[in-house]
A and B are shown apart, each in its own frame.
Chain A
Amino acid sequence: MNKIILEKLKKWQTERARRDNVEAYRVLPYSTLEEIARREPQNAEELLEVKGIKEKKLARYGKEILAIVNEADGEENIVDIEKEDRIFEVGEYLDYLNIKLLESEAKIKGEVSSVENRGNYIFFGIKDKEGESLLNCFIWGNDYSMSGVDLEEGTEVIIWGYPNVYKPSGRMSFQTKLIEVVGEGALKKAYDELKRKLEAEGIFAPERKKIIPDFSHKIGLITSHQGAAIGDFTTNLGSYGFDIKFYSSRVEGKQAVFDLVKAMKWFNKNMPDLDAIVLVRGGGSLESLQAFNTESLVREIADSKIPVLAGVGHEQDVTLAALAADKMVSTPTGAAVELTKSWDEAANKVDAAERELVSYLSGIFERFDQAKIRLHREFEKIGQAVFYSREKIDGFSKNVSIIFGRCISETRETIRNIESQLNLNNPERQLKLGYSLVSLRGKIVRSVKNVNIGDDLNIKVGDGEIESEIRKIHDL
């Protein structure tokens, strides 16, 4: 790839974009520039073979692109040409010179000596405080407003750009891209003035603020791909699966304002469905944070349709960009925390719910266990009751046996007693003992008075009866 051509194409792209007042990638995307630098097309046909170049682009830019490729080729030959004492035509030489001058890009400090504002562009001059040196300067109106610095005679400024000879007039002027004010004091003054002005306009008013939605998911991230801010932000996002669209931007110094504004515009135009734009950078001095205190960026943030979350650190005053944002935190980490807050809360809620559910369930299980234990106990009780009942019945049957047995033997004893008593009382028993029963005419004789001599007596003895007659009667 021809690096010289690529560099020149890049400068041309920026330049052309500015001239047409469009984004640089609208002129030609970077990949197409690389393709051209690789192929080095020599004519329109070859240029058309480059991906990204169609008839329309060819018609618009073809001549300029081919000129750049040819110039660069010519440049390689210049040493030779000079050797050969080549003679340039005027326009040819100015083209060559302007390309050479691109390499003289510089930052220059000076005091504004004159200002001539023609609306779309401004002519001005800067000079050293001491001495006679003067630099004629030119700035496009866009860049002027982007810079947000009011040029006034006597103001000390730093300008950034490169020299260029305007072919029709032959006049050299410094093509200024950016103007900064010089020194902390001036910066502070500019900051205060701009803050006052925007405040009066209500740019920072709370009622203008949009809400960064809970559970923001699709995030446009604007920061530098270098430095700690991007790491601080991304590592603190947790594992919630954020969809991060990253627009790499410079964040240091005044020049960063171009990228930052472009990034804001790009997200609003191309990704209007973003939940939020996050703008982060680490802390810094007023000077290094100049871009964030530049009117163009502040307005861009205030006008953003997408809610803006600013996580911009600062040493002294809060940046105006942060004040205009819908929400501001003081660090990139804080921005990440802000975004994950609702997710964290939700996660905690889920955890809590889970814990509750588990404890609820284990409560149920515990009750089950208790019920089981109780049931077990009841079973045991029943078992015991059965056991006792059996014991009782066994005891009862034993007792019954004993008692009834006793009852029977008692009854037997009673019968025996009665029998022996009956035996004792049995009159016939007396007869056996030798007593006899004497009766007269069927009546037991108990007295001598009841009998007379000659009466017939019946005498009963143990084994029979004797009939007898009374012969004598004696009184006792």
Chain B
Amino acid sequence: MSKETNLSESLKKLEEIVEWFENQGEVDVEKGIEKVKEGVKLIKASRERLKKVENEFEEVRKELEENSEN
């Protein structure tokens, strides 16, 4: 689990990054790029994580549907 991305934590971090940008009067280019780079990484991870969760959910849902049909 620790290795896996925690989706809500990632989202929180991303939101912090967005917030950071919004509060920045003058963008520190270097820092900004760093942030962007981190955000891109987080987005990618979140997407992967979301995809995985979605797949897991689909499996569970199928199982549920099969059971309720019985």
Contacts and interface: CB of A to CB of B under 8 A. Distances in A.
Given A401-B61, A422-B40, A415 B46 contact: yes
Given A394-B68, A397-B68, A415 B29 contact: no
B27 A425 contact: yes
A437 B32 CA distance: 13
Nearest to A460: B29
A400 B32 CA distance: 39
Contact of A425 (B21, B53, B65): B21
A411 interface: yes
Given A404-B57, A427-B27, A422 B64 contact: no
Contact of B43 (A400, A404, A419, A428): A419
Given A401-B61, A437-B29, A418 B18 contact: yes
Given A397-B61, A427-B29, A415 B40 contact: no
A284 B64 CA distance: 105
Contacts of B36: 422, 425-428
A101 interface: no
A397 B64 CA distance: 7
B7 A411 contact: yes
B25 to A, nearest CB: 12
A357 B1 CA distance: 76
Contacts of B33: 426-428
B13 to A, nearest CB: 10
A1 interface: no
B65 A408 contact: no
Interface in B38-69: 39-40, 43, 46-47, 50, 53-54, 57, 61, 64-65, 68
Contacts of B57: 401, 404-405, 408
A417 to B, nearest CB: 8
Interface SS of chain B: helix, strand, loop or mixed?
Answer: helix
Pick the most buried of A408, A422, A446: most chain B CB atoms within 10 A of its CB: A422
Contacts of A419: 39, 43
B39 A418 contact: yes
A421 B43 contact: no
Contacts of B54: 408
A444 B33 CA distance: 14
- Interface residues on chain B, size class: 20 to 34
Nearest to A421: B18
Contacts of B65: 397
A451 B40 CA distance: 35
A412 B50 CA distance: 8
Interface in B7-41: 7, 11, 14-15, 17-18, 21, 26-27, 29, 32-33, 35-36, 39-40
A428 B36 CA distance: 10
B43 A415 contact: yes
A400 B64 CA distance: 10
B68 A393 contact: yes
A155 to B, nearest CB: 120
A444 B29 contact: yes
Nearest to A423: B36
Contacts of B11: 411, 414-415, 418
A57 interface: no
A176 B54 CA distance: 139
A394 B27 CA distance: 52
Nearest to B54: A408
A390 B54 CA distance: 25
Interface in A310-324: none
Interface of A: 390, 393-394, 397, 400-401, 404-405, 408, 411-412, 414-415, 418-419, 421-422, 425-428, 437, 444, 446
Closest 4 CB pairs of A and B: A425-B21, A397-B64, A427-B29, A422-B39
19 contacts: A400-B61, A400-B64, A408-B53, A408-B57, A412-B50, A414-B11, A415-B46, A418-B18, A418-B39, A421-B21, A422-B18, A422-B35, A422-B39, A426-B32, A426-B33, A427-B29, A428-B36, A444-B29, A446-B26
